[in-house]
Amino acid sequence: MEVDVNGLAVVVTGAASGIGRATALAFAANGAKVFAVDVNEAGLAETRAMATNGNVVTHKADLIDPANCAPTIDAAVAQMGKLDALCNIAGVLRIEALEDVTPATWDFIYGVNVRAPFFLSQAAMPHLLESNGAIVNISSATAFRGYAYVTAYTSSKAAVAHMTKSLQAEVIKSGVRINAIAPGSVNTPMGTGGSGGAMDKFDMDLFVRMMQIRPGSPPESYTDIILYLASPQNQIIRGAVLNVDDGMDAT
């Protein structure tokens, strides 16, 4: 299926690398206006340079601070004149033994992975109700199974899954579609590493259970489904968390 996103105004977070960058570039290549957001200004500049048609505008913001969420949406609407889709893709991972997880680490992971998408969605909702728009969140295959040493991350992604469903339930009588995808291993710096703890503390029999049999997928593998969920062509998928883990849950 060819997805038509031409002319859509889209906010993409985490756009300096990984799935966020791939998504921003895919929207731009297909004629959408993209407001690319990240805390990494250098990475944003690279993303903007890769979009040769000029459809990407960048915005540096540290979304772990809820006070930056509404102004980010305001800036996007001021730049693009409207808002058709919000793609909450920014995320962080730490691999740590139980005894090493600090309140600061827990708050950091939940701040980026859960709180920022919620308050961005809150700020975006009036505009999305007007445009009959969409929100696409990023959960994870790890949200639905137990994995050692990543409790903060996996529980945050489970929270994203349920947040997606609850937000959709609240606006179910409107034209807004809110969905999430749950990737498995992704070939990004976060997806292939992210360890913040001492490896000598890990029981390797437990650690290797996190590894899927198939190799990690490139970030570009997920852009087609994200674009479809964000597009007006999707009128029946609402409040779903789509498993796109390359068989991770089957092994």
The residue assigned the tokens 């890769």 is 50
Q: How far is CA 206 from the centre of its chain?
A: 27
Residue 14: the pLDDT is: 98
pTM, rounded to two decimals: 0.92
Contacts of 217 (CB under 8 A, 6+ apart): 183, 184, 185, 186, 187, 246
5: tokens are 């996103």
- More confident of the two residues 150 and 189: 150
Burial 182-207 (b: 16+ CB within 10 A, else e): bbbbbebebbeebebbeeeebeeeeb
Instruction: Sketch out the chain's domains with CATH numbers.
Output: 9-250 (3.40.50.720)
Distance, CA of 212 to CA of 189 (rounded, Å): 17
Q: Which of 110, 149, 153, 222 is catalytic?
A: 153
Contacts of 114 (CB under 8 A, 6+ apart): 156, 159, 160, 163
Residue 217: the pLDDT is: 73
Is residue 153 annotated as a catalytic residue, yes or no?
yes
Closest CA to 37 of 98, 81, 79: 79
Distance, CA of 168 to CA of 146 (rounded, Å): 26
Closest CA to 217 of 244, 185, 247, 173: 185
Distance, CA of 88 to CA of 73 (rounded, Å): 12
Alpha helices in the chain (DSSP H): 18-29, 41-50, 69-80, 103-110, 116-131, 151-170, 189-192, 204-207, 223-230
Distance, CA of 178 to CA of 73 (rounded, Å): 17
Q: 201: pLDDT confidence band, cut at 50, 70 and 90? A: confident
Q: 170: pLDDT confidence band, cut at 50, 70 and 90? A: very high
Average pLDDT, the chain: 91
The residue assigned the tokens 């360890």 is 195
pLDDT digits (tens, 9 = 90+) for 135-148: 999 999 989 988 88
The mean pLDDT of 76-94, rounded to a whole number, is: 97
Distance, CA of 208 to CA of 74 (rounded, Å): 44
Least confident of 134-138, 167-171, 204-208, 234-238: 204-208
The residue assigned the tokens 């609240």 is 170
